[in-house]
Amino acid sequence: KNQVEQSPQSLIILEGKNCTLQCNYTVSPFSNLRWYKQDTGRGPVSLTIMTFSENTKSNGRYTATLDADTKQSSLHITASQLSDSASYICVVIGAGGTSYGKLTFGQGTILTVHP
Amino acid sequence: DAGVTQSPTHLIKTRGQQVTLRCSPKSGHDTVSWYQQALGQGPQFIFQYYEEEERQRGNFPDRFSGHQFPNYSSELNVNALLLGDSALYLCASSKDRSSYNSPLHFGNGTRLTVT
């Protein structure tokens, strides 16, 4: 069964600090991996999209990395702001067989940034 | 440019009832997908519509059905509601159905509570 596991489940940091969120997946083969930010009561918003051949992708203070060999991805947030408080969801899109084009979502990491 | 819009934003139903949720995709998008997101969990794929036909389906019972109209808008119908159907229902649209490189744009969801 294709799975996407995220860690930690939740994280509390102080404003201005950096943090790193982890995503491990078993979806194989896959075409791309995405990170989404979901504010409470809102729909997810795309942060980064990486194909299987990319190692890193940045979007402002957000930097995603991908290691396709170990099937791991991370999202690094620098100089955190209060507005970064949200759930961060890792999504993997399958590329073959019955998983073709299907999105598998992780359960999300809830980040809370305190002043 | 309007993004993905969903209605209603909140809904309370009783067990056994039927419900219809509505979604208008982002301008220029022709593919609509529906997701169920339980509290504290990542979204689960329900189905995808393209050219007014269901193209892909996740592991949801036949009580969940949908429709896509010629203007690309979509409805999600759930019959014989169960308490476990209580969730945030998200609609996402994209420009093509493959999901390979096409960013997904999510609406803010409909919060369904079944009592």
DSSP notation for B33-95: EEEEE-TTS--EEEEEEETTEEEEE-S--TTEEEEE-TTS-EEEEE-S--GGG-EEEEEEEES
Residues of B in contact with A42 (CB under 8 A): 108-109
Residues of B in contact with A89 (CB under 8 A): 42-43
| Inter-chain CB proximity B100 and A106 less than 8 Å | no
Q: Predicted confidence band at B101 (pLDDT cuts at 50, 70, 90)? A: low
Tens of pLDDT, residue by residue over B41-50, are: 899 999 999 9
Is residue B103's pLDDT more than 90? Answer: no
Q: Predicted confidence band at B61 (pLDDT cuts at 50, 70, 90)? A: very high
Which of B24, B30, B41 has the alpha carbon at shortest distance from B76? B24
Residues of B in contact with A43 (CB under 8 A): 4, 90, 92, 106-109
Q: Predicted confidence band at A79 (pLDDT cuts at 50, 70, 90)? A: very high
Looking at the complex, does the CB of residue B107 fall below 8 Å from at least one CB of chain A? yes
**Inter-chain CB pairs, A–B, below 8 Å:** 57
Residues belonging to chain A:
115
| Inter-chain CB proximity B106 and A41 less than 8 Å | no
In one-letter notation, the amino acid at residue B90 is L
Residue B68 to residue A27: CA distance in whole angstroms? 29
What is the enclosing helix (H) or strand (E) of A14? strand A10-14
Of B92, B98, B109, the CB nearest to A101: B98
Query: What is the average pLDDT score of chain A?
Result: 92
Query: Min CA distance, B88 vs chain A (Å)?
Result: 9
Pairing verdict, β B10-13 and B110-114: parallel
Is residue B102's pLDDT more than 90? Answer: no
Residue A110 to residue B42: CA distance in whole angstroms? 11
Query: What is the average pLDDT score of chain B?
Result: 93
| Mean pLDDT along residues B22-40 | 94
Which tokens go with B51? 């050219």
B103 or B8: which leads in pLDDT: B8
Contact between A66 and A73 under an 8 Å Cβ cutoff? The reply is yes
